[in-house]
Amino acid sequence: MAKRRRFMESDTKSEDKLVKLNDAISSIELFSKEVLSALIADSIPPTPNNYALYFDRELDDKDEEFKKQIQSILELEESDDSEKALTLERTLKDGFNSVKNILNVTANLYKNINLMIKILEKRKEDIKKDKSIKNATSIIESLDKDINKLNTILEKQTKSIKTVYNETANIIKKVEGETIFDNKYGIYNKRYLIAKISKEIDLIKQYKHKSSLLMLELSKDLKKSIQNEKIITLMTRTIARLLLKTSRRSDTIAHYGNGIFALLLKHTDIEDAKRAAKRLLDLVSNSNFFIADKEIQLKISIGITDINTNSSAEEIIVYAVNALEEAYKSSEDYFVRTAGE
pLDDT in tens, the chain (341 residues): 554 555 445 555 555 555 555 665 677 788 888 888 888 888 888 888 888 888 888 888 888 888 877 776 666 555 455 566 666 667 777 777 777 777 777 777 777 777 777 777 776 776 666 656 666 667 667 777 777 777 777 777 777 777 777 777 777 677 666 788 888 898 999 999 999 999 999 999 988 889 999 999 999 989 988 888 989 999 999 999 999 888 888 899 999 999 999 999 999 999 999 999 999 999 999 887 787 778 888 999 999 999 999 999 999 999 999 999 999 888 889 999 987 66
- What are the tens digits of pLDDT across the range 46-85? 888 888 888 888 888 888 888 877 776 666 555 455 566 6
21-30 own/partner pairs: CB under 8 Å, 24+ apart: 21/72, 21/73, 23/69, 24/69, 24/70, 24/72, 24/73, 25/73, 27/66, 27/69, 27/70, 28/69, 28/70, 28/73
**Per-domain residue ranges for the chain?**
2-77, 82-176, 184-336
Contact 339, 305 (CB under 8 A): yes
Cα-Cα-Cα-Cα dihedral of 85, 276, 265, 60, to 10°?
80
With a CB cutoff of 8 Å and minimum separation 6, the contacts of 298 are: 218, 222, 235, 238, 239, 284, 285, 287, 288, 289
Own/partner contacts of 271-275, CB < 8 Å, gap of 24 or more, are 272/212, 273/212, 273/214, 273/304, 273/306, 273/336, 274/304, 274/334, 274/336
User: CATH homologous superfamily of domain 184-336?
Assistant: Reverse transcriptase/Diguanylate cyclase domain (3.30.70.270)
Q: What is the DSSP letter of 260?
A: E
pTM (whole model) above 0.85: no
Q: What is the largest CA-CA distance in the chain?
A: 106
Sign of CA dihedral 170, 171, 174, 179: negative
Question: pLDDT tens digit string along 217-273?
Answer: 999 989 988 888 989 999 999 999 999 888 888 899 999 999 999 999 999 999 999
